[in-house]
Chains A and B, each alone.
Chain A
Amino acid sequence: MIFVWLRGLFRTRSGRLAGAIVGVALTIALLAAIGSFVSSSSARMTSQAIAGVAVDWQVQLNPGADPKAIVRAIGKATAYTSLKRVWYASVSGFELSQKGSTQTTGAGKAVGLQDGYFTTFPREVRRLIGSHSGALLFQQTAANLHANVGDMVTIRRVGLSPVRVRVAGIVAMPDIDSFFQAVGLPPGSAPQAPPDNVVLMPESQWHALFDKQRTVRPDSVREQFHVRISHRLPSDPSAAYAAVAGAAKNVEARIAGSGIIGDNLAAKLLGTQADALYARVLFLFLGIPGAVLAVLLTFAVAASGSVRRSHEQALLRVRGASTGQLLGLSGVEALVVALGGVVLGLILHAALDGGRFGGAPSWLIFASCIGFIVALLAVLVPAWQQARSTTVAQARATVGRAAAPLWERLYLDVILLIVAILVFWRTASTGYQVVLAPEGVPQTSVHYEAFLAPLLLWIGAGLLTVRIWRFIVTRGRGVVAAALRGLAAQLAGVVAASLDRQHGAVTRAILLVGLAFAFGVSTAVFNATYNAQSRVDAQLTTGADVTVSGLTGAPPSSKLAQLRAIPHVAAAVAMQHRYAYVGSDLQDLYGIDPRTIGSATPMSDAFFGNNDSQKALAALIGHRDGVLVSEETVQTYQLKLGDRLTLRLQDVRTHRYVPVSFVFVGVSREFPTAPKDSFLIANMSYVAAKTHSNAAEDVLIRVDGNAVAGVRTAAQKVVATLPGATVTDILQSQRKIGSSLTAIDLHGLTAIELIFAVVFVAASTGLLLALGFSERLRTFAILAAIGTKDRQLGAFLWSEAGLVVSAGGAFGIVLGFLIAQMLVKVLTGVFDPPPAALTVPWAYLGGLVIAALVSTAIAVSILLKVTKGAVLGALRGL
């Protein structure tokens, strides 16, 4: 009997079976894609975090420690790949006399580096000009002393007479914070500022100059091992952190107080751990609604056969079939759907994956299990309910005048929406973070209750839609008829009546179409906003699409005209990058032209304390001596708008720091190329006048289209003759900040999700309409038999399809924007800086609407054709 039933299913229910199988397959493929992406992004974050650390461990030797014993301990605890010795000596200052003037600096450091250090740890020191052999001056020190390659600089040693060294080169130290970190400070301690004045030298030269200082003032000298450990680490950031931190503890235990470890790698992985959690949360927020939608579609497709199934069950029950036998037959159908869905889902995943995300077996198994369960529930539960709870007569019924469901009478939809708003308000107003990752503490946690607001919004808005459309279709039949008059003419009233009696199916279809649209719109809008902010973040780091940086003595602004002439350069603007003392604190000072800066790099409202970039820049325009300072400086110096502020800037002619008076006109939070902590923004013309130099050390370039790489290459050629000039671009920045969350490439997952969204929209419109109509083929046969013309039959189909698509689409688009807005607010921690407004991908949204219309048109056209061909067959049953 089962074989006969199965053969019958394939012969007469192939469309429904195929639809349910595709629904299960989509569920599996989407879950597997999310899983693969979560796993691969974690692994990518870990590897990028590891690659981003210049020196993994800085092992600081305590006085009297045996270096060989420590090296042995490190070797026993972990398989290290490189190890170099570094010596640090504090110095009282540096001095340079030339052309009758003498420049001096404050205290600094003289560092000795073991031979081969530069090739072993190339990210630690970057040569700007000169060579690597000999004494190398740190960029800022060279600027302070106005030193050039070949100059003789005096180093004032601690407790000893000064010595002179010849400057062999000038270098940048991109990772200077960790290079000079105070090893052994407890977690959470305030970070120590690195020295402004540094000279690096080969170990032999350092020993010749500072071995004596070690004897005289041992407290002014320290020694470290800089170590690169083996990078064969677990792909998950938490596991990698545990492995690295564990190995460091092991070394410390072995050397028993002879040294302590500055674990840069563990610290970096700790930060990545929070990012990985954010990524997981992000993928869940974006992906789970899609998977749930796929499940709902599967249920809807399976339910589209419920009329026929209940007729069949009624016939079987009349002939004495037991509930067990009925369930057995439905079980066969469920098994076919489950197995077919799993196989197709895995094939679909493999096709979509293309090996890009790597395999994630546990996710594949999980997704397959979910798909299998969904298939069984979608087919078996309705069959079981029908078999258990209805009489034969009820089972034959297809339409009726049902009362409002319980949730509607309890106003559950309204309650859920109110709770969603309250939870969201609490989340948005308290600066609450979804992922809690206290700095320096290995424990991270996720506030899963943050999921509540979007979840309740999804459910509440969905139910509210059902309520509204149920009301409109059943109580507002006149309105519906009037709306359909254009499509159905005289039949509008009949069509409206038909929709009224089938309000359950109609509102279900509207709901599903709406959810499909909402999924597509929310994913697309969130993704577009995320990508736009990711670009802003990269621009903040780089400064603009392409940025040329250089020294005051050889400023890139001298090549501004040539840079502007490069093809595809939309705008090029000069910006000064100087330093200024605020009290005793040396801060970066940016001199800008507030009228033109926005033409080369976007001026986000989030950059400024008043959240209004135009007003902040206008304040600078209105005050030639105006300055924007960081929040931290405002707090430290108790500043109020309009206060006078005296800073010390270096006069380029005399190289002396001179007092310059400014007016505090606003707060700056972030700025292109600026550091995260404290910095100043002032008018370029004022800074130039007060420092006697209009040199601008940076040129910010905006590029037309996708020509960033080409412009960068051309810019490099233009500034090739400028000593110390470097060119960076936004693409490099996006790669460089790869371990941070905004640098996660969401393209892979969102591309898949956006494809799924189109499929869902097409399926929820076309497929559901087609399956629903096929259930009513007999109705159309009756209509044809009593004389309904093709265009009149079309009016029935188009009216229903039009209502479902327009109502569902409108609801879905609105809900999609609300969800996207809510996600952006709830996931504020993802964005740096937060977006001022949503970015709307109009092209994709247009594509979504077209997909819905085309699939609907195809479904209706096919049905019209099928109906005409099937009328005779259906009439035989009348």
Chain B
Amino acid sequence: MSDVLAEAQNVSRTYRVGGQDVVALADASVRIEASARVALLGPSGSGKSTLLQLLGGIDAPTTGTIRWPAFGAADALRPKNVAFVFQNQSLLAPLTVIENVELPLLLEGQSQAHARASAAKMLETIELAGLADKLPEELSGGQAQRVAFARALVGRPPLLLADEPTGQLDRPTADRLLDAVLHFLDDSGTALVIATHDRDVAARMSQRWTMEHGVLQVAS
């Protein structure tokens, strides 16, 4: 498998809003390698989410190209190779914690029994085993985000894209969550690109990309 998980070359994304073209991302070129730790910094509306969605194959660029040398075609990305975590509560309300966590494995085609066992192990790993049968509405914000990470990582994807996952958490909760996640990532070798406003979070990453008005600046 190639060490290059994703590579964007001169990528732009323009949206049509109210009859006008709005440039969300302009001529960005980046590369994500295996086990990378990237902080994507920038104010709200600067284009961070757009870049993550393009890198995750959820959206397609207006111009430029994105390749995933390690995974092949775009439809091979999710849920097996690329996982997402969002800022807001993104668990499926009708499903319990363990049902949410096993879902990506079932989507991959794994058997119910195998998926359930893997999900239970994942919950144990991030200390959520006691919440397995809870509904999302019965969880605190921190617990819900922890479950969201568990769901994203249960299939041990090579790349995790996180869009301000601690934005709505208090500092101690955010720190504890990040500790647990980074610990898991170190073990699994999963690369992380995390969009954040938080300089402390960014400080824990090895690379920092900065976005402003759709323009990306990459610094090591």
Interface positions of A (Cβ within 8 A of B):
397-401, 490-491, 493-494, 497-498, 500-502, 779, 782-789, 792, 871-872, 875-878
Please give me the residue from chain A that is nearest to B95 by CB atom: A497
Please give me the residue from chain B that is nearest to A490 by CB atom: B106
Task: Identify which of B59, B79, B110 contacts A787 (C-beta below 8 A).
Answer: B79
Please give me the residue from chain B that is nearest to A785 by CB atom: B84
CB of B53 within 8 A of CB of A494, answer no
13 pairs, CB–CB < 8 Å, chain A vs chain B = A397-B137, A490-B107, A490-B111, A493-B106, A501-B94, A501-B95, A502-B94, A779-B94, A785-B86, A787-B77, A871-B58, A875-B53, A875-B58
Chain B residues positioned under 8 Å from A876 (CB to CB): 49
Q: Name the segment of B96-104, B171-179, B200-208 touching the other chain.
A: B96-104
CB of A490 within 8 A of CB of B90, answer no
Task: Identify which of B80, B93, B152 contacts A399 (C-beta below 8 A).
Answer: B93
| Alpha-carbon distance between A142 and B93 when the two chains are bound, in angstroms | 91
Please give me the residue from chain A that is nearest to B105 by CB atom: A490
Task: A491-B107, A878-B163 given; name 20 further pairs at CB < 8 Å.
Answer: A397-B137, A401-B135, A491-B106, A494-B102, A497-B99, A501-B94, A782-B92, A784-B58, A785-B58, A785-B78, A786-B78, A786-B84, A787-B79, A787-B104, A872-B58, A872-B59, A875-B86, A878-B87, A878-B88, A878-B90
The 5 closest A-B pairs by CB, nearest first: A787-B78, A787-B79, A878-B86, A501-B94, A498-B94
Please give me the residue from chain B that is nearest to A782 by CB atom: B90
Chain B residues positioned under 8 Å from A500 (CB to CB): 94
Please give me the residue from chain A that is nearest to B82 by CB atom: A787
In the assembled complex, B83 has its CB within 8 A of some CB on chain A: yes
| Alpha-carbon distance between A784 and B86 when the two chains are bound, in angstroms | 13
Task: Identify which of A491, A497, A782, A875 contacts B96 (C-beta below 8 A).
Answer: A497
Please give me the residue from chain A that is nearest to B89 by CB atom: A878
| Alpha-carbon distance between A494 and B90 when the two chains are bound, in angstroms | 16
Q: Are A501 and B135 CB-contacts (below 8 A) given A493-B112, A787-B104? A: yes
| Alpha-carbon distance between A384 and B193 when the two chains are bound, in angstroms | 46
| Alpha-carbon distance between A501 and B135 when the two chains are bound, in angstroms | 9
Chain A residues positioned under 8 Å from B83 (CB to CB): 786
Chain A residues positioned under 8 Å from B109 (CB to CB): 490
Chain A residues positioned under 8 Å from B156 (CB to CB): none
| Alpha-carbon distance between A833 and B100 when the two chains are bound, in angstroms | 63
In the assembled complex, B151 has its CB within 8 A of some CB on chain A: yes
Q: Are A789 and B92 CB-contacts (below 8 A) given A400-B135, A501-B135, A872-B53? A: no
Task: List residues of B (56-79) whose CB comes within 8 Å of A's CBs.
Answer: 58-59, 75, 77-79
Q: Nearest Cβ in chain B — how far from A84, in angstroms?
A: 84
Chain A interface helix/strand/loop/mixed: helix
CB of B88 within 8 A of CB of A783, answer no
CB of A494 within 8 A of CB of B78, answer no
Please give me the residue from chain A that is nearest to B136 by CB atom: A399
Chain B residues positioned under 8 Å from A400 (CB to CB): 135, 137
Please give me the residue from chain B that is nearest to A394 by CB atom: B137
Please give me the residue from chain B that is nearest to A481 by CB atom: B112
Task: Identify which of A494, A789, A875 contacts B95 (C-beta below 8 A).
Answer: A494
What sequence of 0s and 1s flags, for each residue 143-173 of chain B, a beta carbon within 8 Å of any chain A beta carbon? 0000000011000000000010000000000
Please give me the residue from chain B that is nearest to A396 by CB atom: B137
| Alpha-carbon distance between A876 and B15 when the two chains are bound, in angstroms | 13
CB of A785 within 8 A of CB of B93, answer no
Please give me the residue from chain A that is nearest to B49 by CB atom: A876
| Alpha-carbon distance between A871 and B93 when the two chains are bound, in angstroms | 17
Task: Identify which of A398, A401, A493, A789 contacts B107 (C-beta below 8 A).
Answer: A789
Most buried by A among B90, B93, B111, B151: B93
CB of B104 within 8 A of CB of A497, answer no
CB of B58 within 8 A of CB of A494, answer no
Most buried by B among A491, A500, A872, A878: A878
Chain B residues positioned under 8 Å from A786 (CB to CB): 78-79, 83-84, 103-104, 107, 151-152
| Alpha-carbon distance between A779 and B92 when the two chains are bound, in angstroms | 6
Chain A residues positioned under 8 Å from B152 (CB to CB): 786
Q: Nearest Cβ in chain A — how far from B65, in angstroms?
A: 20
Task: Identify which of B94, B107, B163 contacts A497 (C-beta below 8 A).
Answer: B94
Please give me the residue from chain A that is nearest to B77 by CB atom: A787
| Alpha-carbon distance between A622 and B77 when the two chains are bound, in angstroms | 85
Chain A residues positioned under 8 Å from B77 (CB to CB): 787
CB of B103 within 8 A of CB of A494, answer yes
CB of B92 within 8 A of CB of A498, answer yes
Q: Are A783 and B137 CB-contacts (below 8 A) given A494-B99, A878-B87? A: no
Chain A residues positioned under 8 Å from B59 (CB to CB): 872
| Alpha-carbon distance between A877 and B168 when the two chains are bound, in angstroms | 13
CB of A490 within 8 A of CB of B112, answer yes
CB of A787 within 8 A of CB of B107, answer yes
CB of B88 within 8 A of CB of A877, answer yes
Q: Are A399 and B137 CB-contacts (below 8 A) given A494-B95, A501-B95? A: yes
Most buried by A among B91, B115, B137, B152: B137
Please give me the residue from chain A that is nearest to B116 by CB atom: A493
Q: Nearest Cβ in chain A — how far from B13, in angstroms?
A: 11
| Alpha-carbon distance between A490 and B112 when the two chains are bound, in angstroms | 7
| Alpha-carbon distance between A397 and B136 when the two chains are bound, in angstroms | 10
Most buried by A among B75, B103, B110: B103
